[in-house]
Amino acid sequence: MKTRKRVKRGPGDVALDGIIYFFLILLSLVCVIPLYQVFVVSISDPAVVMKNNGMMLWPEGVQFDAYKIVFANKNILNGFKNTLFYIIVGTLLQFATTVTAAYPLAKSNVMLKRPIMIYFSITMYFGGGLIPSFLLINKMHLMNTPWAILLPSAVSVWNIIIMRTQFAGVPDGLKEAAMIDGASDFTILTRILIPLSGSVIAVLVLFSVVGYWNMWYEPMLYLTKRSEYPIQSVLREILIDGNQVMAGAGKRGPGLSGGNQSAAKTLVKYANIIVCTVPILLIYPFLQKYFVKGVIVGSMKG
């Protein structure tokens, strides 16, 4: 059994690794500490929060009344439901348009392939503008419907370029052998190219999920019915409109109502931020192993 030889590392290599780890840890703290601070405040006693001006290293007087109010808010639950719908349907639409556009553009014998790619690329840098887009959505009677959100984002040129590069990197011999065996283009796409592109697809799905989860601008333009709001639009309304903060309190008289009203609203706002942020953070670890590999393969092949 062969043993791998260890490469000798000099003091310079060790020092460089130390610097890299230091800055990575520093960057991680910059991302984690604000979220930790928000969580600590959200489960602390409102009186203690006011006393410390909202700056605390650890929770004091732990209570979860703020989260009870959040989960009792029907708008939050409805926002999660709408966001889940946008994620599932929107991601499937993007996947369908991406693979069906990338496959013919990855073939070498397709006519007008270059002009089509130039046309696609132009749309990445130039658009009709906000007002024409709004008028178009309005004229198509898509206002206050999920399709006002889903259809404009159904095609991503960037995803098409990445997927086309991945498909073009698959050896031609493999595709030619399948054609000799009688495989159609649909069979080659679904049974050869897509299974071999799992890492790239996982990355594109992650991009799509994060995009729909963080979506608030388009709903602000095209949706006026609260029943159609995604979770980020609900969160935006809660953070801006003070009347919506305690919408889940009802007549139950939660423990927060007995303290300072301003501090109670702050705790509920922070609890909303945690509830709307943590779910998307939990998805990334499952796709992390595909992320670096997919980005490198999809963007560098060919």
Highest average pLDDT, of 79-83, 180-184, 236-240, 263-267, comes from 79-83
Separation in Å, CA 97 to CA 116, 153, 159, 268, 298: 15, 11, 10, 40, 17
State yes or no: pLDDT of 26 exceeds 90.
yes
| Token representation of residue 174 | 């493999």
State yes or no: pLDDT of 21 exceeds 50.
yes
* Residue 107 and residue 215 share a domain: yes
Residue 146: the pLDDT is 92
Residue 293: the pLDDT is 58
Q: How many domains is the chain built from?
A: 2
State yes or no: pLDDT of 301 exceeds 50.
no
> Which residues, at least 6 apart from 87, have a Cβ–Cβ distance to it below 8 Å?
208, 209, 212, 213
DSSP per position, 100-129: HHHHHHHSTT-TTHHHHHHHHHHHHH----
Range of the domain at 43: 11-72+241-300
Q: Please give the single-letter amino acid code of residue 154.
A: A
Q: Name the residue among 213, 246, 242 with its Cα closest to residue 230.
A: 213
- Residue 250: CB atoms within 10 A of its CB come to 11
> Among residues 176, 200, 227, which one ends one of the domains?
227
Please state, rounded to an integer, the average pLDDT across all residues of the chain: 83
Between CA 222 and CA 224 the distance in angstroms is 7
Between CA 102 and CA 120 the distance in angstroms is 11
Residue 255: the pLDDT is 55
In this structure, is residue 273 part of a structural domain? Answer: yes
* Residue 214 and residue 104 share a domain: yes
* Residue 223 and residue 148 share a domain: yes
What phi, psi does 6 have (nearest 5°)? -80, 135
Residue 5: the pLDDT is 62
Q: Name the residue among 148, 152, 149, 146 with its Cα closest to residue 227.
A: 146
Residues 54-65: pLDDT tens digits?
777 788 878 888
> For the chain, what percent of residues have pLDDT higher than 90?
25
* Residue 65 and residue 86 share a domain: no
Between CA 263 and CA 257 the distance in angstroms is 10
Task: Name the region of 112 (left: φ>0; alpha: ψ -120 to 50; beta: rest).
Answer: left
pLDDT band at 200 (very low <50, low <70, confident <90, very high): confident
Q: Please give the single-letter amino acid code of residue 125.
A: Y
pLDDT band at 101 (very low <50, low <70, confident <90, very high): very high
What phi, psi does 59 have (nearest 5°)? -70, 145
* Residue 206 and residue 178 share a domain: yes
* Residue 245 and residue 214 share a domain: no
Q: Name the residue among 212, 228, 233 with its Cα closest to residue 152.
A: 212
pLDDT band at 245 (very low <50, low <70, confident <90, very high): low
- The CATH number for 102's domain is 1.10.3720.10
- Which has the minimum average pLDDT: 153-162, 221-230, 239-248? 239-248
Q: Give me the residue label for tokens 């370029």.
A: 161
Residue 298: the pLDDT is 46
Residue 95: the pLDDT is 94
CA angle 201, 205, 208 (to 5 degrees): 140
Residues 279-294: pLDDT tens digits?
888 877 776 666 655 5
* Residue 174 and residue 124 share a domain: yes
Backbone CA torsion sign across 102, 107, 111, 113: positive
Q: Name the residue among 91, 71, 103 with its Cα closest to residue 247.
A: 71
Q: Name the residue among 196, 185, 205 with its Cα closest to residue 93.
A: 205
Residues 81 and 73: beta-carbon distance below 8 Å: no
State yes or no: pLDDT of 4 exceeds 80.
no
In this structure, is residue 4 part of a structural domain? Answer: no
pLDDT band at 302 (very low <50, low <70, confident <90, very high): very low
In total, the chain counts a number of residues equal to: 302
* Residue 280 and residue 268 share a domain: yes
